[in-house]
Amino acid sequence: MVGQNHHSNSLNGNGNRVTLKFLAKQLDLSPTTISVVISDSPLAATIAEKTKKRIWEAVRKFNYRPNVFARYLHGKRTYCVAVLVPDIGDEFSSSLISGIEKRLAQQGYFYFVVSHRGAPELIEKSPDTLLDRGVEGMIFINTPLGRVLPVPVVAVSDITEAPDVSSIVIDNARAARLALKHLRALGHRKIAFFRGPDGNGDTEDRWESVKSAAAELRVQIDPKLTRGLGKYPECNDTTMADLGYHAAKELLKASRDFTALVAFNDGSAIGAIRAFRDAGLKVPKDISVIGFDDIDQAAFNVPRLTTIRQPLTRMGELAASTLIKRIEHPEEKSAEILVEPMLVVRESTCALAASQTAARNSRLRKTTKR
């Protein structure tokens, strides 16, 4: 029958489960004494060294492992948290989770991950199931949280600002300014934009930031030159590169009167570059492209991607340590943690030199005819 041997305890030679009671009998001590020693409770100090040694020896000998569930029953800590994410597979999430996992492991925590692919029903129900399973806290990555949870919550790139949620967010205002200033300094004025997918936690903030930065630097945002990247949850069925690829194609169909693109992230930037090349356009010569995130592949792309770096792994670590801090010190207040972006100049952007303009225009004309 299924479920028969799901008890974790080892068996001793006689096929008996090795429990506290069993150990107690072997050692001729009471279960209490052993429990105290093994769980290293304050009382352990009062137990004779010799007894302790005997106990530990028996533990090793019989390979005793305390039953975790029996412990949980007493409301003890589970050292278990959960990570909710739209899709575990994309570059953004996986870098983040990589950082989360690293810190969590260091501190001896386990974690469940549920990737909901944007399904509202999963997003709604998962927290309860996770709570049932004893998680002591949750990290929401790009996932809307509809209600107050009885455990600490840290949000990364989140949508809704539920009260009492610590959130880790990139300073989008600064990020946008960095991107636009760079392009502006290179002489670009006709700039196209990708707006993120509706429902993505960074989309609104980033877009507003881009708009302010544009206003500040006096670059026009032409609706003809801006494209959205779909919306959740549908956009989850594909990759960011694919979204960027198609958005770029549409862009080209509508207009070729731009010299640079500010993508929503590196994935969409890479897709866009692919589309531009397919249209016979050179990046950066004809069109400069800048992304956000600095995912691993950005540095190996052809051309190497200029981007606004978000330290994703570090953000993951930060999310995890913030969560742990809140779990272990519930009295401390939560706060928003701003992460500083950084401009990484590589090869996908270049100056719009006057000399290049003629060649570029001819190429544009040529390709337009196709």
Partner DNA sequence: TTGAAAGCGCTACCAA
Partner DNA sequence: TTGGTAGCGCTTTCAA
Residues that bind a second copy (CB under 8 A): 2-8, 65-70, 72-73, 75-78, 80, 87-91, 94-95, 97-98, 101, 105, 110-115, 122, 128-129, 131-134, 136, 150, 239, 241-242, 245, 270-271, 273-274, 277, 296-297, 299-302, 304, 327-328, 330
**Nearer to a second copy (CB atom), residue 161 or residue 328:** 328
Residue 260 has φ and ψ, to the nearest 5°, of -155, 155
The least CB distance from residue 330 to DNA, in Å, is: 18
Q: Can you tell me the distance from the alpha carbon of 370 to that of 368, in angstroms, rounded to the nearest whole number? A: 6
> Which residues fall within 8 angstroms of residue 235, CB to CB, at 6 or more apart?
197, 199, 229, 243
CA distance 140 to 171: 18
Using CB distances below 5 to 8 A depending on partner kind, what does residue 132 bind out of DNA, a second copy, none?
a second copy
Closest CA to 271 of 237, 297, 234, 310: 297
CA dist., res. 236 & res. 79, Å (int): 31
Q: For residues 126 and 86, what is the distance between their CA atoms, to the nearest angstrom? A: 12
The Cα–Cα gap between 353 and 359 comes to 11
Q: Which two tokens stand for residue 206?
A: 């980033």
Sole window of 12-20, 107-115, 337-345, 361-369 interacting with DNA (rule: CB under 7 A): 12-20
Phi first, then psi, for residue 73 (nearest 5°) are -55, -25
One residue of 7, 25, 125, 365 binding DNA per CB under 7 A: 7
Nearer to a second copy by Cβ, of 47 and 113: the residue is: 113
Q: Bridge-partner residues for 88, per DSSP?
A: none
Cβ at position 181, least distance to a second copy in Å: 27
Q: Which does 150 bind (CB under 5 to 8 A by kind): DNA, a second copy, none?
A: a second copy
User: Which residues, 55 to 74, sit near DNA by CB under 7 A?
Assistant: 64, 66-67, 70-71, 73-74
Using rule CB under 7 A, residue 2 touches DNA = no
The residue ranges that bind DNA (CB under 7 A) are 7, 9, 17, 19-21, 28-33, 35-36, 38-39, 41, 43, 46-48, 50-51, 64, 66-67, 70-71, 73-74, 76
